[in-house]
Amino acid sequence: MRIVQPYRLYKSTERNYIVLTFPLNNYSLSEIKEYAYLTKDDKVFILSKGGYLYGELSLDKVDDFFENFKFNKVGRELSDNKYYFSEKKIGDNYYYLGMLALKNNNSDDYVGDIGVAISKNDFVVIKYMLATIILVVGILAVIISTTLCARIFAKLLKPLNVLADKTEKIGVNNEEDERGIDFQEENIFEIRSISNSLKFMAERIEENERLLKQNNNKLNTNLNRLVAVERLLMGIDLVGSLPEGVNEVLRALTSEVGLGYSRAIYLEYDEEKDELSVKNYAINPNILANTEKYTEGINGFTFQISNIGEMIPLLNIKYEPGGIFWESMEAGKIIYHNDKGFKYTYGNKLFKTLGLKNFMILPIADEDIKIGCILVDYFGKDNLISEEEVEVNNLLLMNLVIRIKNAMTEESKLMKERYLTMSKVSNKFIKNNKKLISYIETFIENLTNNRYNNKDIDKLKRYLRDEKKKNIVIKDSLDNNKNNFEVFNFEKLIEKIVKNSQKILKKYGINTSLFIDFSGNMYGDKKKIYQMFIQILRNSINAILTRNKLDKKINIVVVGDKNHRIILEIIDNGVGMTQEEVKAVMRPYSDARGDSIMGTGLITIYKIVKEHNGLMTISSELDVGTKIRIIFNEYREETIQ
């Protein structure tokens, strides 16, 4: 048998190997044992994959050893981890067992293990000796410290004993009792001063003890919070599913073994509607199970616990200045108040009816992203929010925001890779298409020279013109390496696009309606916006022709809102898409089938919208139609830097 074990010296870049070659017999194993300075009670052995045993383990029944040892499970662990350590009973003795996986020289096939079993008997003796020594030392330390403390306190309290003896007969008339002590007035004043000082000192000691206990309890609470936050961050998955990840956060916030809040309400920021809407909530299970106890007297009402779910649709908040939710998210800062909640402005008066008490707003936002915020409070409890508690929550929020931003960055990279792949494939298609067009042109030229001319040649010429136009459009839409941003009138651009598209729309019998209620400007790449709109119209035309209904229509709406945004909507009654196809378009890579008539065009549109810091949403229903909503920022002088 040959064993090769790699190792590397300290601060060395070279990799060295220890090669051990020996015949597989008991004599070789005994030599290894002697070389390793093992005692006679220690064992060296080899186990094969088939369950055969070599070495010094003297067992009556080898099969019983393997069954008790669960060899198959250990074999799997060894094949994965290459080593195994455990404490096992072999025969009548206990051993510290270590095993190393053995594999074939030219493959990774697991063939067996080499093991060392170190007897535990010597270790037990050492443990008992150490325990006895520690016990003796501890007893001696207690006796010595008790004696010393008794002597020290006897000396310290001797003046007080004398003072107590002197004050025992205060106020006794010397004439009536010869043993009485007659103090002068000034001596009595000094004694009373000492008494007051001792009383004040005792009160100070008691107060300091109370503060120490209070600080110790706060420290334990904050340590438990840190442990809960660490456990939450280790188990949460925001990349796979953000809603499910947020639900995990809500459950941790309202768990008694977690952060211990009474209620947690998650408000998500909807960029399209520019508002905060309640998506989910969680209530402390202890409070939910004892609602009557926590709402007793003036603490609150049962509906503030039991009926929050019914109030969710009514708790939307417009995202605008004037409320503490907006203030918290814009600043990316936690806002808390150890007070009743009805005194503050939220942007929706219904929040004042929730009976908030000692509440806090946790924003999942910073200067780059706005996801939402979480409202927590101590409903039915007397807990006060501390600065240490806020710092722990800041740590939680910082980690959540970083993870979300990393996921968004990764998605953006994947989207760019997807678009780059499409560009390469499309360029190859255009190159091959050009060759085909060239061959057809040569063929037509030859036919024309031979005076052969009919309607088929005209069809070929029209086909060539259409293919050339398609090549130009595809090339322009994929050639997005450079941006040429400028200020242009959005209304005039849309009117021009619709006017230029009327010919093709009439050809296919598609009715178009255009409603524009915006006359402002936009800052962007005019050429790309033009390409984007043409691609949307092309997708709508293809979808309508695929459905092939008599009523063919495309509605185009352009409006502005009070937040200086341009809202563009294109609605068609084409074949539509399934929800899976809609989701697949917005993902960087997808395994969904590519049967949608909308196809890769939406990927190009989505990329152009993102380049202009816009927002695009798609709502579609199969055999009903598709609605694409795009939001851009209006051009304003102060926004351009």
What count of Cα atoms within 13 Å lies in the side-chain half-sphere of residue 641?
0
Q: Indicate if 247 and 323 belong to the same structural domain.
A: yes
pLDDT tens, residue by residue, 595-617: 443 444 677 788 888 888 888 88
* Residue positions counted in the chain: 641
pLDDT at position 639, please? 47
Mean pLDDT of 190-204: 80
Q: Indicate if 345 and 241 belong to the same structural domain.
A: yes
Residue identified by tokens 């009816």 is: 353
Whichever domain contains 485, its CATH number is 3.30.565.10
Residue 341 lies in a domain: yes
Q: Indicate if 428 and 297 belong to the same structural domain.
A: no
Q: Indicate if 487 and 590 belong to the same structural domain.
A: yes
Structural tokens at position 105: 């020289």
Q: Residue 557 forms beta bridges with which residues?
A: 515, 569
Q: Indicate if 310 and 449 belong to the same structural domain.
A: no
pLDDT tens, residue by residue, 382-433: 888 988 889 988 988 888 888 888 877 776 676 666 666 666 666 666 666 6
Residue 172 lies in a domain: no
pLDDT at position 215, please? 79
Structural tokens at position 435: 């060759």
Mean pLDDT of 44-70: 63
Q: Indicate if 97 and 242 belong to the same structural domain.
A: no
pTM for the full predicted model:
0.53
Lowest mean pLDDT among 457-471, 545-559, 584-598: 584-598
Q: Indicate if 416 and 367 belong to the same structural domain.
A: no
E strand spans, 534-604: 553-560, 565-572
Residue 457 lies in a domain: yes
Of 119, 145, 170, the position where a domain reaches its end is: 119
- 162-185 burial code (b ≥16 CB/10 A, e <16): eeeeeeeeeeeeeeeeeeeeebee
DSSP string, 60-124: S-HHHHHHHHTHHHHHHHHHHHSEEEEEEEETTEEEEEEEEEEE-TTS--EEEEEEEEEESHHHH
- Alpha-carbon span 303 to 309, nearest angstrom: 10
Q: Which residues contact 461 (CB under 8 A, 6 or more apart)?
A: 444
Mean pLDDT of 354-378: 91
Tabulate helix, strand, coil % of the chain (nearest 5).
50, 20, 25
Residue 557 lies in a domain: yes
Q: Which residue, among 263, 257, 253, 251, has the nearest Cα to 221 in the 3D structure?
A: 257
| Residue 470 parent element (H or E) | helix 455-478
pLDDT at position 596, please? 40
Lowest mean pLDDT among 6-15, 210-219, 446-455, 601-610: 446-455
pLDDT at position 589, please? 44
Residue 2 lies in a domain: no
Q: How confident is the model at residue 29 (pLDDT cuts 50, 70, 90)?
A: confident
Q: Indicate if 352 and 430 belong to the same structural domain.
A: no
pLDDT at position 594, please? 41
Q: Indicate if 630 and 522 belong to the same structural domain.
A: yes
How are beta strands 565-572 and 521-525 bridged, if at all? unpaired
Of 326, 351, 385, the position where a domain reaches its end is: 385
- Alpha-carbon span 148 to 151, nearest angstrom: 5
Q: Indicate if 486 and 461 belong to the same structural domain.
A: no
Say how many domains are in the chain: 4
Structural tokens at position 5: 């074990």
CB 535 within 8 A of CB 604: yes
Residue 497 lies in a domain: yes
CB 254 within 8 A of CB 263: yes
Mean pLDDT of 156-171: 66
- Alpha-carbon span 609 to 588, nearest angstrom: 15
Q: Which residues contact 76 (CB under 8 A, 6 or more apart)?
A: none
Is the alpha carbon torsion for 170, 174, 179, 181 positive or negative? positive
pLDDT at position 475, please? 63
User: When comparing pLDDT for 256 and 267, which is higher?
Assistant: 267
Torsion of CA 513, 516, 522, 525, to 10 degrees: 10
- Alpha-carbon span 128 to 124, nearest angstrom: 6
Q: Indicate if 514 and 584 belong to the same structural domain.
A: yes
Q: Indicate if 440 and 566 belong to the same structural domain.
A: no
- Alpha-carbon span 464 to 147, nearest angstrom: 111
Mean pLDDT of 499-517: 90
- Alpha-carbon span 252 to 261, nearest angstrom: 9
CB 113 within 8 A of CB 51: no
Q: How confident is the model at residue 641 (pLDDT cuts 50, 70, 90)?
A: very low
pLDDT tens, residue by residue, 265-310: 999 998 888 899 999 999 999 988 888 888 887 667 888 888 888 8
Q: Residue 5 forms beta bridges with which residues?
A: 18
What is the extent of the structural domain holding 426?
Answer: 408-478
Q: Quick count: other Cβ atoms within 10 Å of Cβ 500?
A: 12
pLDDT at position 606, please? 81
Q: Which residues contact 51 (CB under 8 A, 6 or more apart)?
A: 62, 63, 66, 71
Of 450, 478, 506, the position where a domain reaches its end is: 478
